[in-house]
Amino acid sequence: MVKVNSNYLKLKAGYLFPEIARRVKVFTDKNPAAELIRLGIGDVTEPLPKACRDAMKLAIDEMGTPDGFHGYGPEQGYLWLRQAIAKNDFQLRGCDIKAEEIFVSDGSKCDSSNILDILGEDNRIAVTDPVYPVYVDSNVMVGRTGKSYENGRYSGLEYLPITADNSFEPEIPGNPLDVIYLCSPNNPTGAVCSRLNLKAWVDYALKNDALILFDAAYESFIRDPQLPHSIYEIEGAKECAIEFRSFSKKAGFTGTRCAFTVVPRELKGHASNGQKIDLWDLWNRRQSTKFNGVSYIVQRGAEAVYSDAGKDQVNSLVSFYMENADLIRKELAEAGFQVYGGQHAPYVWINVPESMNSWDFFDYLLDKAHVVGTPGSGFGSSGEGYFRLSAFNSRNNVKNAMQRIAQL
């Protein structure tokens, strides 16, 4: 008799985005002529930068020659890409991150779940609320939580509310925790951790021998030069943090797949006998066993992000989406919504009208404006009463969506 992983049975419902897709399908089946504008899932819409496409085409041609053919690459990623990342994303910002500490992968979503493979089962784990649902669901799937409560939370996880009351900055807990997920710029709220807040978290982690899992997938959308892009801009972070980064949103790689995770050499965990263990060794072991690397062609495309042309094109792409975010912020504020985020992140977070909850507003917007967003409560119980709009779409679609909402 085949036994299933019963942890999956604890999962509350479908993953948020498939659930949205399901509701949208019900609507479009009934209203086939409706022209939907999708500002729900944060999937990019604009073409891949030319520099990346050119590099990938060259790589394809290379693969067609006996000398340029590449089979399995290094599981950690090709050294030339790791070096380009270490230099451009970290060393030029004053962070002492070396190429060997970069692990190239096919996505931050996978890495932020897979990281649980190398962490013990009895860690006290904290997530913010609202939160990118992958952090919670992946903990449920591997059995690190107990049952779920009515409000969607799980026993065994500590929740750190981020709401307008604390300016969407997670507060430092009074009790010791072992693993803390932080996401900045934040998905879903669009808020960014200040240097002060991040320093407080690093100090807390160092004091409590804790590990911060820092998701910086949206760092390139930060426009204020004072705000930190990497946790390694904070002194001591190399002893207490793993950072996840992605080419998905900044360079249009959501369908192409390339990301990376930084595991500093200094990072230690503890075995059950108290012995200190290098997390780098464990992650390297995990990746070498379970992962065969990202394709040579895609890594060449990612490397081109750091060429002069690539940097210009990525900047234009990011600016394009941030102009969309500006437009969403402005139009929704004028329409009377309380508007957050969207200044250093491609997500705008708004309060829904008082008479509705987040899913009511989702249905209302879908039904009346044919606009798809993401209900805040889908990200956690503290997201109830909020709604997320993504800036990833064409200018025309964003303008039309805002016009439709304004006319409601």
Residues in contact with ligand MLT by CB under 6 A are 41-43, 109, 187
Q: What is the DSSP string of 183-203?
A: ESS-TTT-----HHHHHHHHH
Nearest distance from C-beta of residue 141 to ligand MLT, angstroms: 16
What count of Cα atoms within 13 Å lies in the side-chain half-sphere of residue 130? 26
Nearest distance from C-beta of residue 305 to ligand MLT, angstroms: 17
Query: Which of 99/134 has CB closer to ligand MLT?
Result: 134
User: Who contacts 106 (Cβ-Cβ below 8 Å, separation ≥6)?
Assistant: 257, 258, 259, 294
Q: How far apart are CA 104 and CA 93, in angstroms?
A: 20
Query: Which of 59/397 has CB closer to ligand MLT?
Result: 397
Nearest residue to ligand MLT by CB is: 42
Query: Which of 16/237 has CB closer to ligand MLT?
Result: 16
Cβ burial of 284 (10 Å; 0-12, 13-18, 19+) is middle
Cβ burial of 46 (10 Å; 0-12, 13-18, 19+) is middle
Nearest distance from C-beta of residue 128 to ligand MLT, angstroms: 14
What count of Cα atoms within 13 Å lies in the side-chain half-sphere of residue 240? 27
Query: Which of 41/335 has CB closer to ligand MLT?
Result: 41
Query: Which of 238/344 has CB closer to ligand MLT?
Result: 344
Nearest distance from C-beta of residue 23 to ligand MLT, angstroms: 15
Tokens of 4: 């299933």
Distance of CA 95 to the CA centre of its chain: 21
Q: How far apart are CA 322 and CA 161, in angstroms?
A: 26
Nearest distance from C-beta of residue 354 to ligand MLT, angstroms: 25
Nearest distance from C-beta of residue 386 to ligand MLT, angstroms: 14
Query: Which of 186/343 has CB closer to ligand MLT?
Result: 186
